[in-house]
Amino acid sequence: MTTNTTVLDSGAALRPSPPQARRRRHPAATSAGRFVLGAGTVVLALAFWEVLSRTGALPPDAIPPASAVLAEFAAQLFLPAFWASLWATLSVALLGLVLIIVIATPLALLIGLVKPFAESTWFLVEFLKPIPPVALIPLGLLLWGPSPGMKLFLIVLGALWPLLTQLVYGVKEVNGVATDMARSYRLGWWLTTSRLVAPSILPFALTGLRISAAIAIIVAVVTEMIGGATGLGQGIVVAQSAGALTQMYALILAAGLLGLGLNAAFRAAEKPLLFWHPSMREEASR
């Protein structure tokens, strides 16, 4: 016990000065500073890639220079085929998310509120959760062939769980004092659901949805690569087998940006919706 405290004490004594000093000259203190830092790192990484590829430190046949990939990416932006495959990936991912919301919401309510239901489904859910959706591609192909249906099936199976888990947490977190308040003021079913339960669950739902969206994009691209449905994933495989490596990397870049964009869109939605949440208030006051 005594040694523990001493260790903690000395640790605490060491700590104060560095963070304070850092806070004073940290460029990340402002949002502009944060952007410059982030963008700077990206530029540096691209420059590093360029140099490695041009000097032959990386095999230029396998990894063309960054400038070539970026040029190809810019060229792709003018091709209708590129946008078609981007849309094929994005639309199925979004449709999958809608299906996931439709499935997860009632399921989470049942699991969160009906104890016997939670107990009887617990094993099944825990069993299904860790199955990689990719492992089910053969099943999807057997059922639907290389089609959007197959993609949708695998997206739902793969990306359902984060949202479902978060929603179950959210349902359980609706606080007892507020529910007592709602009952004692006789708010009734509709007002209780719309004004108390839904906003309480919202932070959990948005987090779950954001994680599910990222997984949905990944699963969509992978199923296109392996299962051969149209989309960015298929484009990547076709470009690779045709030896069009700059195009392949440009498409990989597009897939990455798609995931990033979707994530940013969800983040942007969180701000106005969760302005009241302690985590958002902290961020705003920073």
Partner 1 sequence: MTTQPTTTEPNPGAPNPAAPATPPFGDVLLELEQLRKSYGSTQILDGVDLSVRRGEFVCIVGPSGSGKTTLLKCMAGLLDPSGGRTVFEGETVTEPPAKLAVVFQDYSRSLLLWMTVAANIGLPLKNKLPKAGRPARIEEVLRAVGLSGKGGLYPWQMSGGMQQRAAIARGLAYQPDVLLMDEPFAAVDAQTRIELEDLVLRVRQDFDTTVIFVTHDIDEAVYLGDRVIILSGAPTKVTRNITVDLPRPRDQRDTKLLPDYARLRAEVFELIQAAQSHASIA
Q: How far is the CB of 115 from partner 1 (least distance, A)?
A: 16
282 within 8 A of 237, measured Cβ to Cβ: no
Burial profile 74-104: b = 16 or more Cβ within 10 angstroms, e = fewer: eebeeeeebeebbebbbebbbbbbebbbeeb
Q: How far is the CB of 161 from partner 1 (least distance, A)?
A: 27
| Integer Cα distance of 142 and 139 in angstroms | 5
Nearer to partner 1, 127 or 190 (CB): 190
Helix (H) or strand (E) holding 68: helix 66-76
Nearer to partner 1, 188 or 261 (CB): 188
Nearer to partner 1, 141 or 206 (CB): 206
Nearer to partner 1, 106 or 188 (CB): 188
Binding site for partner 1 (CB under 8 A): 175, 177-178, 180-181, 183-188, 191, 195-196, 199, 276-278, 281
Q: How far is the CB of 206 from partner 1 (least distance, A)?
A: 13
Q: How far is the CB of 268 from partner 1 (least distance, A)?
A: 18
69 within 8 A of 50, measured Cβ to Cβ: no
Nearer to partner 1, 7 or 181 (CB): 181
Nearer to partner 1, 149 or 199 (CB): 199
Q: How far is the CB of 204 from partner 1 (least distance, A)?
A: 14
| Integer Cα distance of 158 and 130 in angstroms | 9
Q: How far is the CB of 202 from partner 1 (least distance, A)?
A: 8
Which residues contact residue 75 at a Cβ distance below 8 angstroms, ignoring those fewer than 6 apart?
A: 250
Of the candidates 164, 170, 236, the one whose C-alpha atom is nearest the C-alpha of residue 200 is 170
